[in-house]
Structure 1
Amino acid sequence: MTIVAIIIILLMALLGAPLFVVILAATMLGFLSADVDLAIIAAELYRLAETPLLLALPLFTFAGYILSESNTSTRIIRLTRVFFGWLPSGLAVVSLVACAVFTAFTGASGITIVALGALLLPALIQEGYQEKFSLGLVTTTGSLGLLLPPSIPLILYGIIVQQMELGQKFTLPELFMAGILPALLMIVLLALWAAWTSRHLPLRRGAFSAAEAVAAVKEAAWELPLPVFIVVGIFGGFLTISEVAAVTALYVMLVETIVYKEIKAQHLIKVITDSMQMVGGILLILGVSLAFTNYLVDAQIPMHLFEWVSANVDSKLTFLMLLNVFLLILGAILDIFSALVIVVPLIVPIALNYGVHPVHLGVIFLANMQIGYFTPPVGMNLFIASYRFNKPITELYQATIPFMLILLLAVLIITYVPWLSTWFIR
């Protein structure tokens, strides 16, 4: 009977059943085979509902959806172009910074490609960059902001690991701080690559204009306080994560609907509906995944997995290298939310036994997921960019390879120099 049930669950997954249904079925099968009351699944859902950090997830998601539906992307590009456009390969740097900021607040790499790509790709080509380079830049930079606060994947990782109660505690502000230097490292390495590859191109660079700077700041004046809310509120210790999320969501809604008037009341209802459907899906998957994690722990599967890994991997350095390979493959075949809820409960206990701090592991995980977004053959950003720019997928494969190699170098540095992620942890 158990074998038949496993085959049915596998068929459900292959036929495209919702992820939460597959995980829930596997969880129920596991508990039934262990003679455990299925009420424990409801208990896990209730425990999730009591998580203090949980409130931040829908609020930041709502704020990100509003920003993605307004003209914030245009204002971000204008602002970054004023202050970075005069640099060598200035527009490439503008693309890197603008995409990272936009993804950090919207939490979605694909939205960044759709919203900013239409503006940046023609501008890059018009300024003199080669089309192949421009395609690769826009496709790869869409995921850069996943390590920057208030990234939704960062929050989700924090919730999952804290629910596991592994004994090595950390706060979400610490996780936010951990991603800043690695994200900056990626941006700097890509900027240096852009400057090197375009050194012989006849690029048109504009001089810094104080008048344009004032105009750009004035245009985005109502959105500029958003990073301040996070930096001062969270890192200054004045507000909790949930309070910052509430302030951000309320402020963004008022600014985009009343001040800029870019989102009408009717459209606001649709934004609320879409964002909460997204959150509902995440929470449903997260709830049943935590129940599944409970079963895995009871069945000592992480312990058996660790024993197997320990018998075959004799050093922390080797483990980290294999972990990176595994995560890169994972990122190419799974979306980031599915990867978080399925894989994190398995790899965190193993990583802790190798002496990897959970904060450092979170940065490694998300840094690899960033690259997975555009890893052939099925990286999600490749297909989004192919559709958005009407280009063959094979052309995007070729365009993104140099950027992938640069970011792989960054991942190796992030992996083997843990100080970049844990410098503030005593």
Structure 2
Amino acid sequence: MSQGGFRRNGLEWLSSLPACLLLLSVVLFSTSSDIHNQMLRGGEQLWSGYYKLRVDPVQPTCDPNVDIDAAVQEELAKEGSDNPMAALLGASEKDPDEVRLAIERSVADCRQSYQSYENLKDKLTPGVKAYRAVELFVADLIAFGLESQRYILVILVMLCAVTATLTRHHIAMRAMETRLDYMVSHTLQTIANAMLLGSSVIFRQSSFGADTTMSSDELLLHNLWITGFAALTLTSLYRLIRVPDDLREGGDLNKAFLAVPLYTVMCLISGTYFALIGHASGIGIYLGKMMELSDMFLNVGLYVWVGMMLKQTRLATLVFNVFRPWRMPPEMLAVVAVLVAAVPTAYTGASGIFVIAAGAVIYSELRAAGARRHLALAATAMSGSMGVVLRPCLLVVVIAYLNREVTTDELFGWGIWVFVLTATMFTVVVLTVNRQSKFNLAPASMAFPPMMSALKQLIPYALVITAVVLLYRFALDVQMDEFSAPRLLPVIMLAILLYEHVSLKNRKGRASGEINHQGLERSLRSATNDTTAEIGALLLLLGLSVSIGGVIERSHIMGAFPQAFDSAWSAMLLMVLILVVLGMIMDAFGAVILVTATVATIAYSSGIHPIHFWMVTLVAFELGYLSPPVALNHLLTRQVVGEGEVLAAQQEEGTFYQRHERIIMPLIAMGISLVLVAFVPLLFYA
């Protein structure tokens, strides 16, 4: 997992500018729905009955001046001509009074239609027509946005995947350090990408064979996948041929396989399995399932963008400035950092995104405070693990969307208690196990004044955030919650970047202990550059996680387990083991989709409460992300702090615990939390 390729000379905009425009279009389309709702309300307030004025009124074709007596006689005569025998005998099946009443009502309705038509025509003023034109344009824009979500997602994934390949930014167990690492990694990437291309082509052909009436939209979607994977295959082949000069000679084959991206490993496993069972289009089919939840995956991209923009701001540094005057020992500062990080984690959607966004700042601040490398690495890896159960985390929203047994309010309500528990366990472990510092806090008289001064620097940011939230609340009637967060947060971060650009322009962003602010354009460009590579790595990994889920589903591995247990305790023990393993090998969103289709039903049938089960799932996933052999959050930590820091930590002397503290300490904290979350509630209802 390394970076290379594009230089920061503006050429990176060739990939990141289209990605920026795609992400902005997603925000625009989602916000246009709110604007349209307000326009409909405003139109109704300005012109009563505006809903009827959205289309030109059509003149009625009926006759309002009908001679009722003649019409009655005509109707009765018509009946006689239809039934000669009844006319001959002087009998009639229709009552003349009822016929007259029906005709009178018909004439009255006709006159009412004409009256309504005249009224609507009179109301259709030039002002109404102008307003209606804008409103209907916004409505068409919304319809276009909804229809184009799938295409935006495919283009975004492919564009960013190509960028991640060019920049060597895919997520792997270790970085490419030698020429052997590079050759093995890119050879397997080329094979995997060719496998993805072949599966997509076969899926397209089989779709034609099964349904000759394939719509043009579906055909376009197939063609986009094929074009994208063809470009990705050529990119990896180009990278394989053009070996960089900065790699060392030699290398070890076993270590070289660890430099293969995780998405490549998943692709080779799932592709080989599907080929062996005669289902070569399998990967293409399961990647196509991403389109069913295109809005969710686009939200993931938006959250990554938000995280990268957060990385470009001074917010993280300014928050640390609030606690710095107290001269906290490293262990206490690590606890504060992880607990404070829980809130932005919830707003960036997933733990990995926050580690990427703020991990470097957290690590550098802890090291500056005197924290040993292992403690700083452990805290950085865990910085995104606490907030996934707090509102408005996207992962919880996805769980509620896929499972009718639970709601977001229920999950977030219990998530607060889970957060309190995990935070307590982390605090206890950090402050008691292997504590090496004394608690000599600065006196309040010395710490309080500079702390208040640091808090004052955060006030403008709070005002900017409040202004955006209130603008959406009163102008668009949109509250800040788990459903609106994906479209509000990018606007908030853009507003913060604009504020910093204006406020720091004269000072050129230079201040003691703060980052050197680059300006609005460079900050946005840097954030989007990072976003492009990260989206390519994360969404491709997520898509192949769905494919691995398909392998597990089709292999009927879960069928080997009972579909229900007599004991909820036995079921919970099995659930914990399965969920932790899934967290080790799969991305969170892909794992949630798989768990919903398989494990969840077993848990419910065994008497485990749905809310309890999903709280266990979230904690188990986080434990999985911190657990070897993959330990995704540790991989992301290494990516943001640098390979050198991790290698330096591994070379430090000490006891077994001290030499592996960055791995063991998070496992202890989250492991204890998982056991408590999983089994204590069973005492009350099982």
In 2, are the aligned partners of 1:140 and 1:374 still within 8 Å (CA)?
A: yes
- The equivalent of 2:440 in structure 1 is 204
CA shift in 2, pair 1:96/1:289, >3 Å = closer
- The equivalent of 2:313 in structure 1 is 70
Which residue, 402, 408, 411 being the options, matches 2:671?
408
Give the CA deviation at 1:247: 2.0
TM-score by length of 1: 0.70
Write the distance in 1 (CA, Å) between the matches of 2:631 and 2:546: 26
Which residue, 358, 365, 371 being the options, matches 2:617?
365
Write the distance in 2 (CA, Å) between the matches of 1:210 and 1:149: 30
Answer yes or no: is 1:145 the counterpart of 2:386.
Answer: yes
Which residue, 353, 361, 366 being the options, matches 1:120?
366
Write the distance in 2 (CA, Å) between the matches of 1:23 and 1:121: 40
Give the CA deviation at 1:289: 6.5
The residue matched to 2:443 in structure 1 has which SS? coil
Answer yes or no: is 1:352 the counterpart of 2:604.
Answer: yes
In 2, are the aligned partners of 1:79 and 1:216 still within 8 Å (CA)?
A: yes
Write the distance in 2 (CA, Å) between the matches of 1:245 and 1:282: 17
The letter of the residue matching 2:333 is L
Write the distance in 2 (CA, Å) between the matches of 1:366 and 1:243: 22
CA shift in 2, pair 1:240/1:46, >3 Å = same
Q: How does 1:7-406 map to 2 (within 5 A)?
A: 18=264, 21=267, 25=271, 44-49=289-294, 51=295, 56-80=299-323, 90-106=332-348, 107=350, 108=352, 110-111=355-356, 112-125=358-371, 131=372, 134-135=375-376, 137-139=378-380, 141-149=382-390, 154-156=393-395, 158-159=397-398, 162-163=401-402, 167-171=404-408, 173-197=409-433, 201-208=437-444, 209-224=447-462, 238-239=479-480, 241-259=482-500, 262-264=517-519, 265-276=521-532, 278-279=534-535, 282=538, 305=558, 308-310=561-563, 314-334=566-586, 336=588, 339-340=591-592, 345-382=597-634, 384=638, 387-389=644-646, 390-392=648-650, 396-398=659-661, 400-406=663-669
Larger Rg: 2
The letter of the residue matching 2:601 is P
The letter of the residue matching 2:422 is M
TM-score by length of 2: 0.47
Write the distance in 2 (CA, Å) between the matches of 1:40 and 1:199: 51
Give the CA deviation at 1:315: 1.8
Give the CA deviation at 1:333: 4.6
Write the distance in 1 (CA, Å) between the matches of 2:431 and 2:545: 44
In 2, are the aligned partners of 1:99 and 1:116 still within 8 Å (CA)?
A: no
The residue matched to 1:391 in structure 2 has which SS? helix
CA shift in 2, pair 1:160/1:316, >3 Å = same
Write the distance in 2 (CA, Å) between the matches of 1:267 and 1:339: 34
The letter of the residue matching 2:451 is A
Deviates most, 20-29 or 374-383? 20-29
In 1, are the aligned partners of 2:421 and 2:673 still within 8 Å (CA)?
A: yes
Give the CA deviation at 1:91: 2.8
1:262-283, Cα deviation, whole Å (9 max, x unpaired):
3530341242243255446655
Structure ranking higher on relative contact order (CA contacts 8 Å, 6+ apart): 1
The letter of the residue matching 1:315 is S
Deviates most, 285-294 or 323-332? 285-294
Give the CA deviation at 1:411: 1.1
1:280-325, Cα deviation, whole Å (9 max, x unpaired):
665566567668878987x6x77x83572347x5422122223223
CA shift in 2, pair 1:88/1:117, >3 Å = closer
The residue matched to 2:562 in structure 1 has which SS? helix
Percent identity for Structure 1 against Structure 2: 19
Give the CA deviation at 1:414: 1.4
Give the CA deviation at 1:143: 3.5
- Quote the RMSD (CA, aligned, Å): 4.8
Structure 1 residue runs without a partner (length 5+)? 1-7, 126-130, 420-426
Write the distance in 2 (CA, Å) between the matches of 1:39 and 1:121: 45
Structure 2 residue runs without a partner (length 5+)? 1-190, 197-256, 505-516
Give the CA deviation at 1:377: 4.5
The letter of the residue matching 1:305 is M
The residue matched to 2:673 in structure 1 has which SS? helix
1:162-182, Cα deviation, whole Å (9 max, x unpaired):
34xx542523x5444443221
The letter of the residue matching 2:321 is R
Write the distance in 2 (CA, Å) between the matches of 1:292 and 1:402: 30
Write the distance in 2 (CA, Å) between the matches of 1:380 and 1:40: 26
- The equivalent of 2:148 in structure 1 is none
In 1, are the aligned partners of 2:270 and 2:551 still within 8 Å (CA)?
A: no
CA shift in 2, pair 1:217/1:148, >3 Å = farther
